[in-house]
Structure formats: C-alpha cells, structure tokens
Amino acid sequence: MTDLVRLEVEDGIGTIRLDRAPMNALNAEIQHGLIAACREAAQRKDVAAVIVWGGEKVFAAGADIKEMETMSYTDMVDHSALLQDFTRSLAQLPKPTVAAITGYALGGGCEVALACDFRIAADDAVLGQPEVSLGIIPGAGGTQRLARLVGPSRAKDLVFSGRFVKAPEALAIGLVDSVVPASEVYESARSMMARYVGGPAYALRAAKEAIDRGLEVDLDSGLEIERMLFSALFATKDRAIGMRHFVEKGRGPAPFEGA
C-alpha cells in the first residue's frame, strides 16, 4: 500500500483515507493504493464496514490530468483497465461502504463515491462529472454507475453538461443519501457504519451481492441469485444463532459471530 492511501481500523470500522494534498488528485499510485486497501479491508475479520474519506477539506477533485495529458491512445488502452479496476475493487468490496464527502468529489472523485454503497455529503460539498470539458467522458464507471443511481436522463444531463452539483441538489436527485454540516461528515459516516459492527457478516455480504448482481440481470435471473444466496446462508453459524435467538428471546440484537 502507498502512503497516499491508508487503511485505518478502529472499533470494527475501516477508514480508507485518501491523502494526497492539496486535492487528492487520483493518480496511478492512489488508484493502486485503493485497490490494495480494498483487498486488505475485504480480508480482515476486524473490519465490518468501510468509510472512504478524503479528509476535512476535500474528498477527491478528480483524476491527475497532468499525468494523463501526455498519454497516447495505446498508453490509455493499457491505463484504462486500472481506471476500471480501482473503482470496481471498491464496488465489489463485500462489506457495507460509505463515501464521506467533503469539499469536491469531481470526475474520478465522484466515481469513487459512486462505487460506495452510500454517500454522505457536507452541506457545502460539490459533486460532478466534468470530463466533457476536457473532451473525454467518465472512464472509471461514471457513465454506468451514475445512470443506475439517478436514472439515465439525469445522468445524461450531468455528463453531457459537465456541470457541478451542490449538495442540496445532489440529495434531491438521489446522488447522495444525506447532507450534514461539514464538521459532522466523518462522524455521521461512522455512525452509519457502526450499525453493521457485530452484525451477521455473511448475510450482509450476501445481501450486497444479491442486490448488485440482481441489478445487472432480468428479474427471473435476479430471483435465482437471491434464492441461491439465501439457501447458502443456512450453512453459516450466524443463521443458526439469529434464528435461535429470535425463537428464544424475540426480536433484538443477536450475538452474531461473523461466521
């Protein structure tokens, strides 16, 4: 892992910290670092949920354009796989994830946020996909995940125009899930992720997989994905613990083991 991306773990919550001053421009080193951080977070049993955090001032203001500006077509053919992989690694992390957005989340920064399960934004945050102003389009998942999140018409508006979206509009169109004062973004993200600490890890993993994979297929195929994942959970200890707890004590938090 790189010094520009750190995984910090406390009380069952992993924070993937982007740390490349001043704007967290997403160069290749950060992209590789994010892949490594996601891999570590996925493997660690002491991580129940993950926050992606760029710090108090900015989430990520986009890709490193200076790094990309001199690339040829063949250079980008090779590099574009990394652009897809670093956001895919976050989207496929088998645990709940939330982007804690302060300042700007633009271009690649917005694509990182889109790859999370949830997004909490500061009340003065600004999001957008301004790649068209550079003569390109989003290349790290923006055209696909944005359309699935806010619908194709709104996604086309944002991508075609490249305009910036302030936090209230982002909330109104479903681009973010909540808006809080800037000073409360990270703690709000921790509060959201804390509800999954001590939870049934494999059930949460299966729920995420069922929803995400189901969105990519027709309804019957999605129902079959759900059926198989549902059945598979009967092989876990937590299924037995949860059902036994309900039968003996009723509703309430069961003493799950994450197994």
- Which tens digits make up the pLDDT trace of 159-211? 999 999 999 999 999 999 999 999 999 999 999 999 999 999 999 999 999 99
The Cα–Cα gap between 54 and 258 comes to 29
Domain ranges of the chain: 5-194, 201-249
Predicted confidence (pLDDT) per residue in 204-249, tens digit:
999 999 999 999 999 999 999 999 999 999 999 999 999 999 999 9
pLDDT of residue 77: 86
Burial class (CB in 10 A: 0-12, 13-18, 19+), 170: buried
pLDDT of residue 12: 97
CATH 1.10.12.10 is right for the domain spanning 201-249: yes
What whole-number percentage of the chain has pLDDT above 90? 89
Residue type, 41: A
Architecture of domain 5-194: Alpha-Beta Complex (3.90)
Integer angstrom CA distances of residue 245 from 50, 160, 242: 27, 52, 5
Report whether pLDDT(76) > 80: yes
Buried (b) or exposed (e) across 29-58, using 16+ Cβ within 10 A? ebbbbbbbbbeebbeeeebbbbbbbbbeeb
Predicted confidence (pLDDT) per residue in 133-166, tens digit:
999 999 999 999 999 999 999 999 999 999 999 9
Kindly tell me the number of DSSP H helices and DSSP E strands found in the chain: 11, 9
Distance of CA 197 to the CA centre of its chain: 17
Global pTM? 0.95
pLDDT of residue 2: 82
pLDDT of residue 252: 82
For the chain, the first-to-last Cα distance in angstroms comes to 28
pLDDT of residue 1: 65
- Evaluate whether 5-194 and 201-249 have a shared fold: no
Burial class (CB in 10 A: 0-12, 13-18, 19+), 7: buried
The Cα–Cα gap between 105 and 128 comes to 7
What is the set of active-site residues? 111, 131
